[in-house]
Amino acid sequence: MPSNEAPRKIQLVRISHVYYKYTDFPKALEFIHDFGFTEEKRVSDEKIYFRGYGTEPWVLCAIKADKAEFGGVGFVVESEEDLQIASETLPKATKIYELTDAPGGGKGVTFHDPVDGYPMHLVWGQTPSAMLEIPLPHEPFNYPTEKNRPAGKFQRFQKRPAPVHKLGHFGVRTTNFAAAHEFYCKHFNFIASDLIHDKEKVDRTVFYRLDRGDEEVDHHVFFFAEGGTYRVHHSSFETHDFDTQVLGHDWLREKGYKNCWGVGRHVLGSQIFDYWYDPHGFIMEHYVDGDLVTAAEPTHRSMAGPGSLHVWGPELPSDFLTPR
């Protein structure tokens, strides 16, 4: 390839998993179970892979460590060539490696965010899993003037954690919005679904979806907002429906975990959200009913303001935008 020619964009297919490192492993594992993950593979007593009930072979890898730390998110790429391009062009990128102990196998490349240095992982060639067969409600909804459930058909729900289906998105606070935005748009098939600017019309927050052409994709898989120091903001996992989500909310509340924000309805992406602090202070979200878009949807721009985050639900907690 001539040196003056920019390499093609790395094609991300979907978001797939996250790594978290914990100091108090037993407490971390208890929360992971109460949040609705399913243990898939115990590599050792210090490294465990968890799955959702979807086809992703794993969605969370928990690692015991001396320091609690976000270990980075993983995206599936379209081809081995994408891994090769990543390895040759991205900051502090590794060579292509085998995911030797991960369920589903595959190959990967790890690189680091050029602004704040956090790791990101690209994977290809994993073997998908069969969906887990767990009981999930599918009853039609009764509206005041449109009754969809037959008479005598009762609803009965199970008190339990909200089973995680998949990883939906993650977000960070970046120390340099403009540099991060330029980097991710240059190297990947991200499209800004929403850009949020300040009073001076300077963009400070972005919600990216993936450009998959006509395929309908989630409104966002990755967001970042500018702030004084880097930190991972949250990882968000999709669960089945509103009842499942609120039953999961009750389960976490009754177990004594600290709620962060929710249940409420977002504006951008329109998910019903429910954010929780895990025992290490990481924010984990359950969401349902998010918007889908295709590549044809234009980028929407709006100004940051109190009404832009949610339309219903508890007041925005003061520590949500600047946690820890």
| Binding-site ranges for Fe ion (CB under 5 A) | 236, 285
Q: How far is the CB of 221 from Fe ion (least distance, A)?
A: 10
Q: How far is the CB of 53 from Fe ion (least distance, A)?
A: 20
Distances (CA, A) of 34 to 63, 183, 278: 18, 37, 10
Evaluate whether 190 touches 136 at the Cβ level (below 8 Å): no
State which residue, 28 or 272, has the beta carbon closest to Fe ion.
272
State which residue, 72 or 262, has the beta carbon closest to Fe ion.
262
Q: How far is the CB of 80 from Fe ion (least distance, A)?
A: 31
Between CA 204 and CA 186 the distance in angstroms is 18
> Among residues 184, 206, 197, 201, which one has the least CA distance to residue 269?
206
The per-residue b/e assignment along 208-243, b for 16 or more CB within 10 angstroms, e otherwise, is: bbbbbeeeebbbbbbbbbbbeebbbbbbbbbbbbeb
Which residue type, as a one-letter code, is found at position 286? H
State which residue, 82 or 238, has the beta carbon closest to Fe ion.
238
Instruction: Check residue 299 and report its DSSP letter.
Output: P
SS (H, E, C) 142-187: CCCCCCCCCCCCCCCCCCCCCCCCEEEEEEEEECCHHHHHHHHHHH
Q: How far is the CB of 162 from Fe ion (least distance, A)?
A: 15
Between CA 36 and CA 178 the distance in angstroms is 36
Q: How far is the CB of 206 from Fe ion (least distance, A)?
A: 14
Residue of closest CB approach to Fe ion: 236
State which residue, 37 or 124, has the beta carbon closest to Fe ion.
37
State which residue, 10 or 164, has the beta carbon closest to Fe ion.
164
Q: How far is the CB of 83 from Fe ion (least distance, A)?
A: 28
Evaluate whether 296 touches 235 at the Cβ level (below 8 Å): no
Evaluate whether 179 touches 50 at the Cβ level (below 8 Å): no
Q: What are the structure tokens assigned to 64, written together?
A: 């015991």
Q: How far is the CB of 160 from Fe ion (least distance, A)?
A: 22
State which residue, 39 or 289, has the beta carbon closest to Fe ion.
289
State which residue, 104 or 269, has the beta carbon closest to Fe ion.
269
Between CA 85 and CA 80 the distance in angstroms is 9
Q: How far is the CB of 22 from Fe ion (least distance, A)?
A: 21
Between CA 287 and CA 60 the distance in angstroms is 16
